[in-house]
Chain A
Amino acid sequence: MASAAETTPRWSRRRGAVWRRAGRGAVPYGLLLPVVAILGAILGYPIYSLVRLSLQHYTLFELIRHKGQYIGLHNFGLVLHDPIFWHTVLRTVIFTITNVGLTIGIGTLIALLLVRVSGWVRILITSGLVLVWAMPPVVAVQVWNWMTNYQNGVLNYILTELHVGNFFHHDWYATPFSQLSMVTTLIVWEGLPFIAITVYAALSQVPGELVEAAEIDGAPAWRVFFDVTMPIIRPVLLILTSLSILWDFGVFTQAYLLIGQPAIQPGNYLMAIYLFEEGYFKNDYGRGAAISILMLAMVATLSVVLVRKMVQAGDVD
Chain B
Amino acid sequence: MRLRVVVAAVLAVALGVVAATASASGNRQSANKLTVWLQVDAQSGWPDVVAAANQQFQADHPGWTVDVQYQNWGDHLQKFDATLAGGNTPDVIEMGNTEMVKYMAAGAFADISSFKSTFANSDNWLAGLAKSGMYGGKVYGVPYYAGSRVVTYRTDVWKKAGISKPPTSLAQFTSDATKLAVAGKSVKGFSPVYLPGTDWYFAMSFVYDFGGSIATTHAHKWVGNLNSPKSIAGLTAFKNFWLAVSKASKTSNEANPAPYDIFSQGGAGAIVGPGWFSCCTGAKYKAVTAQFVMPSHTAGKAMPGFLGGSDLAVPAPSGNKALAADWIKDFTSTSAEKSLQAKGNIPNATSLLGTSVNERAAARSWFVPAAKHWVDVENGNILRTMLSTILGGKFTVAQAATIASNNITTTLNQP
Do chains A and B directly touch (beta carbons under 8 Å) in the complex?
yes
> Using a CB–CB distance below 8 Å, which chain A residues touch chain B?
26-27, 30-31, 33-34, 37-38, 59-61, 63-66, 145, 149-152, 168-169, 171, 173-174, 260-265, 277, 280-283
A171 & B265 in contact (Cβ 8 Å cutoff): no
Closest Cβ–Cβ distance, residue A150 to chain B (whole Å)? 4
A264 & B381 in contact (Cβ 8 Å cutoff): yes
B11 & A37 in contact (Cβ 8 Å cutoff): yes
CA distance A30 to B8 in the complex (A): 9
B251 & A173 in contact (Cβ 8 Å cutoff): yes
B106 & A282 in contact (Cβ 8 Å cutoff): no
B106 & A61 in contact (Cβ 8 Å cutoff): yes
B392 & A283 in contact (Cβ 8 Å cutoff): no
B385 interfacial by beta-carbon distance below 8 Å: yes
A60 & B108 in contact (Cβ 8 Å cutoff): yes
Contacts A151-B267, A262-B384; A280 near B81 (Cβ below 8 A): yes
Q: Which chain B residues numbered 224 to 275 have a C-beta less than 8 Å away from chain A?
A: 247-253, 255-257, 262, 265, 267
Q: Which residue of A lies closest to B11 (CB)?
A: A34
A31 & B108 in contact (Cβ 8 Å cutoff): no
Closest Cβ–Cβ distance, residue B9 to chain A (whole Å)? 10
Interface size range of chain B in the complex? 35 or more
B11 & A263 in contact (Cβ 8 Å cutoff): no
Q: Which residues on the B side are within 8 Å of A283 (C-beta)?
A: 81, 102
How many Cβ-Cβ contacts under 8 Å join chain A to chain B?
Answer: 99
Chain B interface secondary structure, helix, strand, loop or mixed? Answer: loop
> Using a CB–CB distance below 8 Å, which chain B residues touch chain A?
3-4, 7, 10-11, 14, 74, 78, 81, 84-85, 87, 102-103, 105-108, 188-189, 198, 247-253, 255-257, 262, 265, 267, 316-317, 376, 379-381, 384-385, 392
Closest Cβ–Cβ distance, residue A282 to chain B (whole Å)? 5
A174 & B265 in contact (Cβ 8 Å cutoff): no
Chain A interface secondary structure, helix, strand, loop or mixed? Answer: helix
Q: Which residue of A lies closest to B188 (CB)?
A: A168
B189 & A64 in contact (Cβ 8 Å cutoff): no
Closest Cβ–Cβ distance, residue B239 to chain A (whole Å)? 17
Closest Cβ–Cβ distance, residue A211 to chain B (whole Å)? 44
Closest Cβ–Cβ distance, residue A53 to chain B (whole Å)? 11
A262 & B78 in contact (Cβ 8 Å cutoff): no
Q: Which residues on the A side are within 8 Å of B4 (C-beta)?
A: 26-27, 30
Most-contacted residue by chain B among A61, A150, A262, A263 (CB, 10 A): A262
